[in-house]
Amino acid sequence: MIKIFIMIITTLTLQASAHTYDVKFKGIKLGEIKDLSTLKDYYLKAAVTSRMARFLLGKDNLVYYAKDKPQVRDSKFKQDKKMMLYAFSQSLKARPKFKRFKINDIKNITLTCEGKSCQFIYYKNDHIDGKGKILFDRDGEFVSITEEMTDFKIVRN
């Protein structure tokens, strides 16, 4: 019985860590994310896999963060000004039918989920300043997130 329990836990752990995610900007693959667990701290770290991107960035990692700048060595940092990571993290936790999150006096984001997808819209001064879509597979696992105005994507392999 204990051996069966250990095998099930091992299988679930291997399946959860087996996914990698491509980071794409305007259709060009910049890097690869191996772990989404950092999303709870509102940042994602991608290993830069494109030679051209590595040359231009001068770093081995690209860190996309929303709140506090994380301590990650040899990284190029990009702040998430449109709060895409916040919407992403909330969709993974609860998938609300409709929820509005106030960021400050002039910024807010709405998250609307139906079935296997969520839509998020970022408002600044009551005007749409960003929007995107988060997709899940039939098992409820994350597949992709797309910020439509900048064509920034994170896609499961």
Question: Tens digit of pLDDT for each residue in 18-65?
Answer: 689 999 989 889 999 998 999 989 999 999 998 888 898 899 999 999
Chain segment 105-153, per-residue pLDDT in tens? 999 999 999 999 999 999 999 899 999 999 999 988 999 999 998 889 9
In whole angstroms, how far apart are CA 77 and each of 45, 66, 103, 129?
Answer: 9, 11, 21, 21
In angstroms, the CA 21 to CA 34 distance is 6
Query: Rounded to the nearest 5°, which phi and psi values hold at 62?
Result: -120, 125
What's the confidence (pLDDT) of residue 15?
Answer: 44
| Angle CA 62–85–31, to nearest 5 | 25
Helix and strand tally (H, E) in the chain? 3, 11
- What dihedral do alpha carbons 8, 14, 17, 20 form, nearest 10°? -130
